[in-house]
Amino acid sequence: MASEQQPPSATKIDDSNGVMHFPIGKSRLEREALLKYRLEECEPVYTHKRFREWAEYIFYINGKGFTQEVQTFDAQGNNKKILVRAGGPPKQVMLPSYHQWAVLDFIQPCSSPGFQNMLFRLFDAPERQQPEQCCKYVKEENLKQLWVGWQQSPFCKQVIEHITKNAYNMAVVENFVCFGLGPIEESDDPEDHIQRTFLQHAMAVEIRDALVRTQRKEDLLFQIPIAVQDPRYCKNCVRLLLDVLKVGVMNTPTGFPTVDKTTFVISKAPSVCVRQIVADLTADAGGPAGMLCDPIEDNGLDEMAHNQHSDPSSPRLWDFKERNKELELMLDDTEDKIKYMTDDVPPVEVDGLPNRVFDDVGLYLRKRA
């Protein structure tokens, strides 16, 4: 049960959603009080049960073409039923951060009419990008060469060394999930690695293989599955990820139902509050088995520091970091360079390609019980 502490100017009752309901005004101070109450005193709102319910809505709306009455609720605990009619563009799920949910003058994610201010939101999915505008002309051989070169980068070596060193101190990993790493298209930013998104995906394979060699060394045939999810993948992205990395793309609304205490999560600057949701889903265990993500710098209670951040922190995420500080590793590959073979005939090795695959991130591992 949630704490009995009363939020400011509120009379609290239980509602049918198991969410604490309280009437509260709309001033900025009251909204900020509501945010703190939601983050500090209430039970997690992102749960496996809710994700299963939401996935069922999407299944019937997109998969079956049925009109559905979708039930959701706002940060004050007010239930709302929204009729979503069959037909038209397929619907996509948008999940706000606690900050966007409670403090409505923060930058909000898009949503269809009626879903504004709600926890579970739907909107018309944009047309999927065609391979011609994405990665149709990306060569598999070039990706493999980049991957081999990047394995020798300081960043990759540091990560694998840290994982290998702490494999028996950290929780056992049984699956990997990558969220929002982006399509496999070449970056046209000269300050970025031309294939940063591909190599971000490849990092999951590198960490997985290191864990198989250590945590699973008595059964090297054991497979730790890697699943990735991003609505921006084109059909060719899906093919490249499978053919080059042997990584499968989840055909689900969000992918979050697969996250539990044995999951290793990888994300970088996602457009959804991945870290808050993962911390909610694994709260009973004290966090996921591991995370490679943007640095966890605070507990998320300084709402003004996060008013334009789509993936803010939370007290549960901060607790995960603080309990496992001795196993964390802070990384930054902004200044790194790696060798790369050009497309010239014959190929020419250059030593100046920016290695900016992740920039600054934290590697967080949960201690083994």
pLDDT exceeds cutoff 90 at 252 = no
**Contact criterion met (CB below 8 Å) for 146 and 195:** yes
Average pLDDT over residues 74-95: 90
Secondary structure percentages of the chain, helix, strand, coil, to 5:
35, 20, 50
| Residue 105: pLDDT band with limits 50, 70, 90 | low
CA dihedral 345, 349, 353, 356 (to 10 degrees): 110
Which of 150, 8, 23, 153 minimizes the C-alpha distance to 78?
23
Residue 353 φ/ψ, nearest 5 degrees: -70, 125
| Residue 171: pLDDT band with limits 50, 70, 90 | very high
Average pLDDT over residues 23-33: 67
Is 1 or 204 the better-scoring residue by pLDDT?
204
Percent of the chain with pLDDT over 90: 60
Q: How far is CA 349 from the centre of its chain?
A: 35
pLDDT of residue 29: 77
- Looking at every residue in the chain, the average pLDDT score rounds to 85
Please give the domain boundaries of the chain with CATH numbers for all domains. 13-124 (no CATH), 131-365 (3.40.50)
Is 128 or 176 the better-scoring residue by pLDDT?
176
pLDDT of residue 1: 31
Average pLDDT over residues 216-232: 84
pLDDT exceeds cutoff 70 at 352 = no
Which of 293, 342, 271 minimizes the C-alpha distance to 108?
271
Average pLDDT over residues 22-28: 54
Cα Rg of the chain (Å, integer):
22
pLDDT of residue 110: 78
Average pLDDT over residues 3-27: 42
Average pLDDT over residues 90-105: 87
Average pLDDT over residues 42-57: 94
> Which of 1-10, 246-255, 280-289 has the highest average model confidence (pLDDT)?
280-289
- What angle, rounded to 10 degrees, do the helices at 235-245 and 196-214 form? 30
Residue 140 φ/ψ, nearest 5 degrees: -60, -40
- What is the pTM assigned to this prediction? 0.89
pLDDT exceeds cutoff 90 at 20 = no
Residue 141 φ/ψ, nearest 5 degrees: -65, -40
